[in-house]
Structure 1
Amino acid sequence: MKRVHSDIIQFRGSHYDFGFIQGERLKDSILLPNRRKQRNSSSKSLLINEQQATEMLQSFAPKIWEEITGLADSLEWDLHDAIREFGGYYLEYVRSGCSIFTGSDFMVRNYDSAPQGYEGRFALYQPTDGGYATIGPTMQITGRTDGLNEKGLAMGYNFINRRNSEDGFICNMIGRLILENCASIEEAIDLLKDIPHRRSFSYVLLDRTGKSVVVEASPRSVVVRESSVSTNHFELLTEENRYQTDDSRRREETMLAYQNMADAYSAFRLLNDSDQGVFSKKYTTASGTLHTASYFPHSLEVGFAIGPDRLPLMFDFGRWLQGERLYAKRINGKIDTHLPFVHMAEM
């Protein structure tokens, strides 16, 4: 078992200042040098059209653009490199797993992917220049893999397919935009229908109404269905699915069997316990469970665990929003893999 951690980042202030302070912290981190090595060794370069990406960011994510500018200034990078690294537009994304289970007042989510891409950052951010406060794990610094905002909107996503991609934003940036700009499921659906999608993903949304929906989004179409369970296949846009969906359907059936009787804690145990059939150890195929998170729209609490068979570390996001500082610095866990984590070991 390998010891793994996520650093907890807290900030209140403007997006530019948030980007700048993150850049200051990243200067001494091995995360960005490792990412550079991964990019150089990849057969698929992360090329972008800088003008197009800039226009899309300034149109759909003007505040994130300011955060990227702050990162660039702090790191002393040119904007092209900063957009490519942090912009979440027109980038490659490795395939992943993921399972999501919702009740009327909770969302539990397994994030399944490759250790080499997990950056180990958990952010609480309260902007002072527009946008809702958010809490959740980061991806590519500016993006979010899942999370909760101050209005009680919870979000997680599931990978579907890399085939037939088009120019557009990738999942983690879309997740950030949902959390920072949407107060309800309806607003999030409108954003998902408006924004260009790079890949096919399902976005699971839960708000304080107790309603849970799965938004099936591809570069070609966006449709909505109500459901309490989501894995890695579409139910409506079936033409977008991968050829192999057996494991996705198996995890879905396991969770569906519990949908009418699970409370938040038992749902967390269903996804986090290694003997329940949902937690995945397939790290070599980029689909092993890295964290299990639980989000509570009404109480604004969050539970988070790295690795299997663990009790979640609980965060009271509501109290943090009122000005109370969180004193924890890291979330610790253990994962059974020999593969390196990009934020912990030189690659």
Structure 2
Amino acid sequence: MKKIYSDIRQFRGSHYDFGFYQGEELKNSPIIKNRTKQWKTRKARFIIDERSVKEALGPFAPRIWDELAGLRDGLGWTIDDVLKEFGGYRLEYVRSGCSIFTNTDYMIRNYDYHPRTYEGRLMIYQPNDGGYAVIGPSQRITGRMDGMNEKGLAMGYNFIHRKKPGDGFICNMIGRIILERCASVKEAVAMLKEIPHRHSFTYTVLDKNGVTYVVEATPRGVEEYQSNVCTNHFELLKHENRHHLADSYKRMQAINESKGNVTDKYQAFRMMNDLDKGVFSDDYRNWSGTIHTSGYFPKEGKVWFALGGNREPVIFDFKKWMSGERITTTRILGQVDTDLPFAHMY
């Protein structure tokens, strides 16, 4: 078993200052060193164009460009290098797992991926220059793989495939834009229909009204439907599915068979996080081991978070943080059954 951790970072201020703060913090970190090492062994399959990225962000989240500029100055990099790593536009993405279960009061999400990509950063950010405050784990620094905003909108995405990519944003930047710019499920669905998608993913969204929508998004089209279970296959855009879906259907079946016995939020969390329930995965070498389980409670304004399986969640009161109270916890501890290295650990 490997002991792992996620650091908690809290910031209130402008997007530029947030970017500069992160750049200074990350400058000599394992995350940057590991990312630099990865580019020595693989070739970029995309084109970085500063003007295109800035124009693409403009209609959806223009202030994120300021955050990228802050990262550039904090790291002492060129803007091209920042966009290659953190721009969130026209980048490749490899396969992963992930499972989501919701009801009217919560979203419980298992994030399944390869350890070497995991940054171990739970970000809590309140901008003062536009956009909603958001709590959620980072992916590629500027992106969010799941989270909840001050309006009570919760979001998580699940990988489908990266065949036939288009010019557009990758999943984690789309997640960040949704959380920072949308106040409701209705607004999130509308945004997902408008924003350009690089790859094919599902986005599950829940707000204080208690209705969950799953949005199936590809570079070629977007469809939505109501459901409280989502894994790694499309239900509507079936022609877009991968050929090997046994694991996705297996996890969906495990949730559907167990959810009838779930009577409260803690049991829901246990269904997703316990090693013996059939949803939590330890297949880390194949890019689909569960690294964290997160719980978002829009009506309460609280977040639960656990690293690894069979863990009790660390509880954050986001509503109190929004009223000015600082979170005193600085690190979340956990363990996973793998010897693979994590991006944020030496």
TM range (shorter): over 0.9
Unaligned runs of 5+ in 1: none
* Aligned partner of residue 318 in structure 1, secondary structure: helix
Alignment size in residue pairs: 345
Once the two structures are superposed, the pairs formed by residues 1-347 of structure 1 within 5 Å of their partners are 1-45=1-45, 47-262=47-262, 263-345=264-346
Distance 1:77 1:150 in 2: 32
Runs of 4+ with deviation above 3 angstroms: 43-47, 258-261
CA contact (8 A) 1:154 1:179 kept: yes
* Aligned partner of residue 59 in structure 1, secondary structure: coil
Distance 1:95 1:46 in 2: 17
Distance 2:57 2:320 in 1: 32
Identity level (%): 57
CA contact (8 A) 2:61 2:181 kept: no
* Aligned partner of residue 41 in structure 1, secondary structure: coil
Letter in 2 for 1:66: D
Letter in 2 for 1:317: F
Q: 1:118 to 1:60 in 2, by over 3 A?
A: same
Output the aligned Cα RMSD: 1.0
Distance 1:25 1:221 in 2: 39
Distance 2:200 2:98 in 1: 14
Q: 1:198 to 1:118 in 2, by over 3 A?
A: same
1:78 Cα deviation after fit: 1.2
CA contact (8 A) 1:57 1:87 kept: no
1:256 Cα deviation after fit: 1.4
1:74 Cα deviation after fit: 1.1
Letter in 1 for 2:267: S
1:49 Cα deviation after fit: 3.0
* Aligned partner of residue 60 in structure 1, secondary structure: coil
1:28 Cα deviation after fit: 2.6
1:257 Cα deviation after fit: 2.2
Distance 2:47 2:289 in 1: 27
1:47 Cα deviation after fit: 3.7
1:260 Cα deviation after fit: 4.2
* Aligned partner of residue 258 in structure 2, secondary structure: coil
Distance 1:44 1:83 in 2: 12
1:94 Cα deviation after fit: 1.7
Letter in 2 for 1:334: Q
Q: Structure 2 length as normaliser, TM-score?
A: 0.98
Letter in 1 for 2:104: S
Letter in 1 for 2:88: G
Distance 1:260 1:244 in 2: 28
